Structure 1
């Protein structure tokens, strides 16, 4: 679901969310474990829909881009980088990032909230639906900003447990 918020409200949202969210420790093993869990879930969904694993379905470049995108959103459960900055950091073109995010929204792994300022698109919120912080982020946007976000059914089925990571 694509919802719009004004860009001048981004800073308070980030400050308020960051103070209450669990952060996945930046140890490589833990982040890799969380990314692999999400990739396994994506594999299950892709195999159900396409009859192929994610690695077979996506090109090798898109698969590596998927891993990098997940590394951006895994720490807090959301990311606010622009697609241009993500493309620059990963080293791919903007259309590849855009296509990947649309695909992740289709299979309901990611939710996007777009921000608008001065008539132009700004940073977006990319929310990872399998993260332990997902319910808190969802509740925050429902209560503080009155966005009609619905809980993703994948969360209850495949969410990352904190005990699995530690």
Structure 2
């Protein structure tokens, strides 16, 4: 006699099947979006630069681990890599140690120590997570736009 099946009622089995169907639908939608987005990138650009993030290490921090797991970075990179190879486009991977979010795209100053921006912003200088303020030249930029400008310098 199998004890596991003996305790599972009909409603439990039906609900589990429904949840599995719903999770599969969500996964199919996510895969479809990534497929369409990567093909749009490959068709639009000859060179694509992305950061080579160590997602496993980032998931260990517990700050944004659930969001990172759901974002499917690994699948996105894998899909983009094979499509770039397939269509003869160049994919440039920025080293995970490259300070794209900590480097000023205007003067090149790299933040270190207490000046660094974290997921919570910078508590020492009272800046937000999405804000980049260079303490060398005084420029104020959106953090993502600053990172993109730094990644474009790699090309």
TM-score (norm 2): 0.25
Q: Which has the higher helix share?
A: 1
Higher relative contact order, structure no. (Cα contacts within 8 Å, ≥ 6 residues apart): 1
